[in-house]
Structure 1
Amino acid sequence: MQKPQLSFWHIWNMCFGFFGIQFGFALQNSNVSRIFQTLGADYSNMTILWVAAPITGLFVQPIIGYMSDNTWGKLGRRRPYFLYGAIVASLSLLIMPNSPTLWIAAGMLWIMDASINVSMEPFRAFVGDMLPRNQRGLGYAMQSFFIGVASVIASALPWMMTNWFGISNEAELGKIPESVKFAFYAGGILFFLAVLWTVVSTKEYSPEELEAFERAERELDNQPDLPEPTRSSKQFFSGGFIWAASGIVSTILVAFNIEALDKNLLLLTSGLLLFGVFQIIAGLLEQTGNNNNGFSQIMVDLFNMPDAMRKLAVVQFFSWFPFFAWWSSSTPAITSHHYGTSDVASAAFNQGADWVGILNSAYNVAAVFAAISIPFVVRWFNLRIAHTANLLLGGIGFISFILIKDPKWLVVPMIGVGFAWASILSLPYALLSNSVPMKKMGLFMGIFNFFIVLPQILAASILGFLVNKFFGGQTIFALVIGGSSMVLAGLLTLRVQHAD
C-alpha cells in the first residue's frame, strides 16, 4: 500500500496555511523590538524580553507534536491545532500593538508566540503525513516559498502603510505608530484566513492508513520494524544529577557576581538546572513504572534521536543563533550604527526602524528564489555542499554589516542571508521526515525544534553581556557575533555524513 502522489495544487493547498503563520511571525520579528523600545525597553533588557518566544517554542512544540500524533477526530490529526492556534494568534496580533505598557507587551508576545507555535508545529509533521518520500522535498520547499512570500509582505507592511497609504509612522513618546498598528490588524486577519483555507481544503489520512503506508515503505526498503526506544532510570538519574549540579553551581556563581556579569546569564544557568530536574523526574517515573505518558515519551525519545537528527543538531544550533541576534538586535543595531540615533521618538529612528522591515523583506525575497533554486543546486553538487555554501553566504552577510556605511547597501548582504534562511527551513526537515517513524512524526519534529530554540535562549542569555562587556555596548557587534556563528555552522555541515 503505497502513499499516493499528490498534485501540485493539492500540495499548494496543504501548505498555504504556512503563509498566514509566517505572516504573524514576520510581523513579530520585524516590529516587536520597535514596540519594546517605544514602551521604554533598552538593549540591556531587550534580549530577556525576546526570550519569551524561544522558551515558549521549547515547551509548546514537543507537547503539541505528541498530542497531535495521538489525536483523531472530526477535523483529523493536525488540523485542530492549526485552527485553534490560529484563532488565538490572530486575536493576539490585534491586541499586541495596543499594549499600554512594556510588560503587557512582553506578556502578549508570550501568548502570541505560544499560539503561533500551536499552529506551526503540526504543519511540519503534516507534510510528512500526507506526502510520499519523493514529494516531501517539494512539500518543504513549498512551505519555504510561502515563508518567503509572507515575510516579504509582512516585514515591509509598516513601511507600505506609510508610503503607500499615508498612515503616520511617528507617534508621541511611549505610543505605537499607527502604521505598525494597522500592519498588525491586517496580519491578524490574513493569519486566520490562510490557515482556514488549509483546514477546509485538505483532508488527512487516518492513523490506520498512516500505519499501513509506513509498513509498506519499510517492506519496500527491506527495513525491520524499529523497537520502541528505552532509557533506564539509572541513566536518567546520573545525567540529571550532573546537569542539576552544574546549574546550581553556575547559578550561585552568577548570582554572587551579578554586578560584574549580565543578569540574563541566570536564564542560561537556570536552564541547566531545569534540564537536570526534568531528567530526575523522568527517572522517577521510569523507576515506578509510571512512564506511559507524554512527558516520559518526550524525554526517552530526546535521548534516542535517529542518527540524522544527531548529525544535524549541532549545525542547526549554530545556524539559528544568528537569526535570534538579528531579530532581537537589528533595530537597535542599525538605528544606532547607520542612522546615528537611539531616540525612539526621532524621525531618524523611525526611518531606520522602517528600513529594518525592508531588510527583512529583502532577505525573504532572496529566500523565495533560493527555495526554487536549492533543489537544482543539490542535484549539481550534493546536500552538504549546497547547505554549507548557503550558510557561508549568510554568515558573511551578517558580518559585513559593520563594514557597510550606507544603509541602502545593506540590501546586498541580505541576499546571502536569504539563501541561508531558505536552506535552513527546507533541507533539514526533508531529511528528518524520511528518518523518523510516521507515528511519531509530530513528536520528533517538536524535539528537533529544541536545536532551534536552545541557541536562541543562549543568545538571549549572553548577547547583551558580550556586547556590553567586550564591545562597549555597540549593538552592531551582535550581528557580527551571529555571522561568525553561521560561518561555523557552514563548516560543521561538512562533518555531517551520509546526509545526502
Structure 2
Amino acid sequence: MKKRLLSFWEIWNMSFGFLGIQFGYALQGGFMSRIFQTLGASEDEIPLLWIAAPLTGLIVQPIIGYLSDRTWHPKLGRRKPYFLIGAVLSSLALFFAPHSSALWMAAGFLWVIDACINISMEPFRALVADKLHESQRSYGFVVQTLIIGIGTWVASNLPWLINQLGVSNEAPAGVVPQSVRIAFAIGAFVFILSILYTIFTTEEYPPEDMEAFLKEKKEKKSNFIKDITENVANMPKTMRKLGVIQFFSWFAFFTMWSLATPALTEHIYDAPKPDVKLYAQLDAEGSIVHKGEGEDKRVMFLDAEKEATYTTKDKAYNTAADEVGSAMGVYGLSSMAFALLLTFYSARFKLNRKYTHLVSLILGGLGFIGMYFCDDFISLAICFVLVGISWGSILSMPYAMLSSSIDPTKMGMFMGLFNMFIVIPQIVAALGGVNFVYKLIGDKTINAMIVAGISLIVAGLFNLLITNKKAIAYSIDQSE
C-alpha cells in the first residue's frame, strides 16, 4: 500500500502517548532505587531488585508484538487495544508503588509497572512503521523521542517541584516521602490521559486484504512458539549488528537507573543514605525493632540522640536525592532539544543514521565518565546534557535503522524480538554484572558511572559494523 506523507501534527498525535509511557519510565528509573533504599536495601542489592523489569520485557514484548501483528479491532485497530490495556494497568501500579511498606512489595510493584508499560510501549514502535512512509521513519521516531524527552524532564523534576510547593520530602525511617508519592500519582494520571489522546486522535490502516489477514490469523493461531523460533533464527544481519550496539547502550543506562542515585548522592553531595541499623534497636536476630503496622509502622531508635542524628542524615540524603533526580531530568531535556534538532533536519534532508548514532553514543559516554569529576549541580547537569544526546539517539536511530531492514508484515514481531537486545544486558547487569565490573575499578559506587561511560563509547564504535545502505539513510527517491 502506498502510504501518504503525514504532517508533523499527525505524527505528534500518534506519538503523544509516549509522554505517559515516559512519565512511568522516568519515575521508575529516577526514584525506585530511592524507594528501595528507603525500605532498607543496600547499594549492592539494588541492581538485583531491578531484575524483574528486564525479565518482564524479555517475555512480554515479543508476545505483544506477535499478537498485535495479528489483531484487528473494528474501532480500535491493530495496536491501540494494547495501548489501552497497558495504560490502565500501568497507572494503577504507578499510583500504589510508593505506598509499599516492605522491600518485597516495592520490587513486586516494579515488576508490575514494567510489565504493563511494555504492553503499551512495544506497539507504539510498530505503529510508527505501520503508518509512515519509509522516508519519514527517522522523522517519526525522532518526534517520539522529542515527546519522550519532555516526559523525562517533567517527571524527573516532579518530587523536587512538589517539595518546592510545600510538600515535605522528609518521612520517618522506612517510609517513602509524601513528595514522591504525589509525583507517582501525577504520573499515573498523565499516563492514562496521554494514551487516550493518541487513541482518540489516530486512525490505523486496516489490512490491505482483510479476508487473507483473517485466514492467516486463523491458520497461525497455535504457531506462536514456532514463529518466534523461526524469526529468531532468521533474524536479518542488520538487526543482529544493531543488537550488539543495543547491548552496550542499555547496559550503560541500566547502570544509571539503578545506581546513579546512591552513587551521586554520596560522591557529589557527601550525603549517602544512612544505615538505620546503626541507630535503631535490634532484636536477637539483628533485625530492626518496629512499632505499629502498615503505613504506621515506625523504627524504634536506641535513644533520642540517635534518632536526631539519623533524621539529620536522612534529610540530607533526601535533599541530595531530589537534586540528583532533577539533574537526571536534564538528560530528558537535552534529548528533547536534540530530537527537535533532528526533527527539523530529517524533515528536509536525508539523515545518516549510522554516524549520528555513533557520535551521540560517544558523547553520552563522555558525560558518564565526567560525573566522576563533578562537584556541584551545574557540572553534573552538564554531564547529563551529554547523556541526553545519547538517549535521544538510542530512542530513535536504532528503530529507524531496524524498520528499514525487516519485513513490514512482521513489524510488531521483530520490534518485540529487538527488545531482547534491550533486556538481556539489563539482566546481565542485574545479576551482578554491573557490581562485578565497577568493583574492578574500585569499591566506590561512582565507579559504576565510569563503567556506564565506557560501555556507551563501545556501543558507539560498534556502529561501524552497520553496512546496509537502506538502514543507514533512506531517501524518498529510493524504491519502496
Q: In structure 2, do the counterparts of structure 1 residues 363 and 468 end up closer, same or farther at CA, with 3 Å as the change threshold?
A: closer
C-alpha distance in structure 2 between counterparts of 1:204 and 1:159, whole Å: 39
Q: 1:162: which partner in 2?
A: 163
Q: Does 1:107 align with 2:75?
A: no
C-alpha distance in structure 2 between counterparts of 1:174 and 1:440, whole Å: 47
Q: Deviations over 1:414-463 (max 9, x none)?
A: 11111101111111111211222222111100111111111111111234
Q: 2:256: which partner in 1?
A: 326
CA contact (8 A) 1:18 1:147 kept: yes
Q: For residues 13-412 of structure 1, what are the structure 2 equivalents within 5 Å?
A: 13-74=13-74, 75-163=76-164, 165-208=165-208, 293-344=223-274, 346-374=314-342, 382-412=352-382
Provide TM-score, normalisation by structure 1: 0.81
Name which of 408, 414, 425 aligns with 1:455. 425
- What's the Cα RMSD here? 2.2
**Aligned partner letter, 1:293:** N
SS of equivalent to 2:16: helix
Question: Which ranges in structure 2 are unaligned for 5 or more consecutive residues?
Answer: 275-310, 473-480
SS of equivalent to 1:43: coil
SS of equivalent to 2:174: coil
C-alpha distance in structure 1 between counterparts of 2:72 and 2:8, whole Å: 26
Q: CA deviation at 1:405?
A: 2.4
Q: Deviations over 1:141-177 (max 9, x none)?
A: 11101100000000010000011x1111111100000
C-alpha distance in structure 2 between counterparts of 1:210 and 1:197, whole Å: 27
Q: CA deviation at 1:202?
A: 1.4
Q: Deviations over 1:344-393 (max 9, x none)?
A: 55222112211121122111111011112236778598332221111110
C-alpha distance in structure 2 between counterparts of 1:463 and 1:156, whole Å: 30
C-alpha distance in structure 1 between counterparts of 2:109 and 2:406, whole Å: 35
CA contact (8 A) 1:393 1:419 kept: yes
Q: CA deviation at 1:397?
A: 0.7
**Aligned partner letter, 1:421:** W
C-alpha distance in structure 2 between counterparts of 1:5 and 1:472, whole Å: 53
SS of equivalent to 2:389: helix
Q: Deviations over 1:9-60 (max 9, x none)?
A: 2211111111111111111111100000000111121101011111111110
SS of equivalent to 2:465: coil
C-alpha distance in structure 2 between counterparts of 1:347 and 1:146, whole Å: 33
Q: CA deviation at 1:125?
A: 0.2
SS of equivalent to 1:44: coil
C-alpha distance in structure 1 between counterparts of 2:244 and 2:210, whole Å: 31
**Aligned partner letter, 1:343:** K
Q: In structure 2, do the counterparts of structure 1 residues 79 and 109 end up closer, same or farther at CA, with 3 Å as the change threshold?
A: same
Q: 1:225: which partner in 2?
A: none
C-alpha distance in structure 1 between counterparts of 2:438 and 2:211, whole Å: 54
C-alpha distance in structure 2 between counterparts of 1:123 and 1:485, whole Å: 27
Q: CA deviation at 1:112?
A: 0.9
Identity of aligned residues (%): 49
C-alpha distance in structure 2 between counterparts of 1:171 and 1:134, whole Å: 52
C-alpha distance in structure 2 between counterparts of 1:7 and 1:58, whole Å: 34
Q: CA deviation at 1:291?
A: 10
CA contact (8 A) 1:391 1:420 kept: yes
Q: In structure 2, do the counterparts of structure 1 residues 152 and 207 end up closer, same or farther at CA, with 3 Å as the change threshold?
A: same
Q: Spell out structure 1 runs of 4+ moving beyond 4 A.
A: 209-212, 375-381
Q: 1:216: which partner in 2?
A: none
Q: 2:290: which partner in 1?
A: none
Q: Deviations over 1:466-488 (max 9, x none)?
A: 26753553111111111101111
**Aligned partner letter, 2:36:** F
C-alpha distance in structure 2 between counterparts of 1:483 and 1:341, whole Å: 23
Q: In structure 2, do the counterparts of structure 1 residues 362 and 78 end up closer, same or farther at CA, with 3 Å as the change threshold?
A: same
Name which of 440, 459, 464 aligns with 1:489. 459
Q: CA deviation at 1:308?
A: 2.1
Q: 2:285: which partner in 1?
A: none
Q: CA deviation at 1:302?
A: 1.1
Question: Which ranges in structure 1 are unaligned for 5 or more consecutive residues?
Answer: 213-227, 229-289
CA contact (8 A) 2:438 2:448 kept: no
C-alpha distance in structure 2 between counterparts of 1:460 and 1:202, whole Å: 38
Q: CA deviation at 1:195?
A: 0.2
Aligned pairs, how many?
424
C-alpha distance in structure 1 between counterparts of 2:123 and 2:210, whole Å: 15
C-alpha distance in structure 2 between counterparts of 1:351 and 1:7, whole Å: 44
CA contact (8 A) 2:137 2:400 kept: yes
Q: 2:9: which partner in 1?
A: 9
Q: 1:427: which partner in 2?
A: 397
Greater helix content: 1
Range 131-140 or range 321-330, more displaced: 131-140
Provide TM-score, normalisation by structure 2: 0.84
C-alpha distance in structure 2 between counterparts of 1:312 and 1:7, whole Å: 29
Q: In structure 2, do the counterparts of structure 1 residues 44 and 180 end up closer, same or farther at CA, with 3 Å as the change threshold?
A: same
C-alpha distance in structure 2 between counterparts of 1:491 and 1:337, whole Å: 29
Q: Does 1:478 align with 2:460?
A: no
Q: In structure 2, do the counterparts of structure 1 residues 194 and 395 end up closer, same or farther at CA, with 3 Å as the change threshold?
A: same
**Aligned partner letter, 2:168:** S
